[in-house]
Amino acid sequence: MAGVVEQRSIDVVPDDERHGSPFSQFTLWLGANLQITAVITGALAVVFGANAFWSLIGLLLGNLLGGAVMALHSAQGPRLGLPQMITSRAQFGVRGAVVPLALVIVMYIGFFASGSVLAGQAVGELTHLGETPGIVLFAAVTAVAAAVGYRLIHTLGKIAGLVCALAFVYLGIRLLQRTDLGTLLADHRFGLPVFLLAVSLSASWQLAFGPYVADYSRYLPRHTSARATFWWTLSGSVLGSQWSMTFGALAAAAAPAAFVGHEVSYLVGLGGAGLIASCLYFVIALGKLTINILNTYGGFMSLVTSVSGFRGQRTLSARGRSAYIAGIMVAGTAVALLGKDSFLASFKDFLLFLLTFFTPWSAINLVDYYLISKERYDIPALSDPAGRYGAWNVRALTVYVLGVLAQLPFLATHFYTGPLVAPLGGADISWLVGLAVPAVLYWLTARHDTARTAAPDPLQEERSPAGYPAESGG
């Protein structure tokens, strides 16, 4: 069992423990995206006003744009051997990284909760226990799997990818038997605000993976091609999400009254009754299990990273690991039980609101890693508040806050709408501003700060297949 249960947490993965190939990123992210929450995300584009034709195009554009940003984070994993958010210490300081980390933890709990609502319905029907016991049972299984860790996560991704792909092929055929595809796509009227809503929904879906995507590539061998990691991650995530979202958009356009608010029962009813229905409930639960394990695992990593920045902790005991994971599970389950009756509207606002806080972090992290630090970090200094990166980087935190504030005039959510939304016809372009403004500001203010840039190690002259220095740490 010791070889199955993961021992690492926020510490560097040694070379002798590295394994796998970049293709593992394709299977993991395909399985993570072929699931019912992605279906609902695609449906939201239609529910909130776009026709099916432009919804599909907008969703694809958002998946490609957001997926490219997410895949750039994935390529950091093999280079550094570290979980994603601990690298934020190089930009924000060893303790200053707690600012974006706190928001990331909220994100994980929110996604855990939203996934548990949908999976709980499926588990409740499958076990005949009801929705609330189904949510609790699903959460417990999620926590156990997250505690086992990396290898099980990738194995589940492969299984879920295959099983869910077969299920979605079957459901797609059933949907097209009930409705005419040409009729669904016949309306070509273009509306910029609702088109940008579709782009924002799928872009936010992809960008929300950014804070933990490298957690699942960090065990790849150090010499793994950065290009291969990027492309396999991008292709798996975009294919899985666009497939699911396309199904959701078409289902919402074909039968809005039957689908909206009854997503699980609609999918199962579309497939059939009896044994087929039971199989589909299982598929829904399996698809959500994969992504909810990622959310639990990522939340655990972020929580440990936050606490360890103040405690100077570099490793974690098995008992401590279990305690952190249990904390994420309990918080996520509580939110799921409290919010299960108003899920759809809340989830749309939650997705768009997340962009406000994660696009500036993503922009700063990528600019620093690829343009400022040139893919080299002083890894020991990431745990030393008195080291190269300091405890708090006021400059990066200021840029981060400015990046958040710059989005507010363009932000359109249920509880706040910026003053520039109406002149743009109701379009929400805040996420584009949130990427561009902090990226430019951080590059302008940090490009000459050589004191924070790790020098290349003269012993690390061997080149990786991607053409970059083989080692990244100091």
Q: How far apart are CA 399 and CA 443, in angstroms?
A: 10
Question: What angle in degrees, to the nearest 10, is found between the helix axes of 192-207 and 226-254?
Answer: 130
Predicted local confidence at residue 349, as pLDDT: 67
Predicted local confidence at residue 455, as pLDDT: 61
For residue 197 the two structure tokens come to: 């809503």
How many residues does this entry show for the chain?
A: 474
Is there a contact between 463 and 214 (Cβ–Cβ < 8 Å)? no
- pTM for the full predicted model: 0.87
Predicted local confidence at residue 314, as pLDDT: 66
At 221, which amino acid appears? P
Predicted local confidence at residue 48, as pLDDT: 81
User: Which residues face 412 on adjacent strands?
Assistant: 417
Q: What domains, with CATH codes, occur in the chain?
A: 15-351 (1.10.4160.10)
Predicted local confidence at residue 457, as pLDDT: 47
Give the end-to-end CA distance of the chain in Å, rounded to a whole number: 33
Q: Residue 434: what are its φ and ψ, rounded to 5°?
A: -65, -20
Q: Render 192-208 in DSSP notation, one character per residue.
A: HHHHHHHHHHHHHHHHT
Q: Residue 301: what are its φ and ψ, rounded to 5°?
A: -60, -45
CA distances 318 to 2, 149, 298, 300, 327, Å, are: 11, 12, 16, 13, 14
Nearest-10 Cα torsion for 200, 201, 207, 212: 170
For residue 58 the two structure tokens come to: 């907008």
Smallest CA-to-CA distance from 363 within 10, 102, 88 is with 88
Number of H helices, E strands in the chain: 18, 0
pLDDT tens, the chain, 474 aa long: 446 778 777 788 898 899 999 999 999 999 999 988 899 889 988 988 889 999 999 999 999 999 999 999 999 999 999 988 889 999 999 999 999 888 888 878 888 887 788 788 788 888 888 888 888 898 889 889 988 888 899 999 999 999 999 999 999 999 999 888 898 899 999 988 889 889 988 998 898 898 889 999 999 999 999 999 999 999 999 999 999 999 999 999 988 777 777 777 888 888 888 889 888 888 888 888 888 898 888 888 888 888 877 776 666 677 777 888 888 888 888 888 877 666 545 665 665 677 788 899 999 999 999 999 988 888 889 888 888 999 999 999 999 999 999 999 988 877 788 998 888 777 778 888 999 999 999 999 998 877 666 665 443 334 333 333 333 333
The strand ranges marked E within 121-217 are none
Smallest CA-to-CA distance from 221 within 460, 11, 464 is with 464
CA distances 78 to 89, 224, 324, 368, 457, Å, are: 18, 6, 25, 17, 18
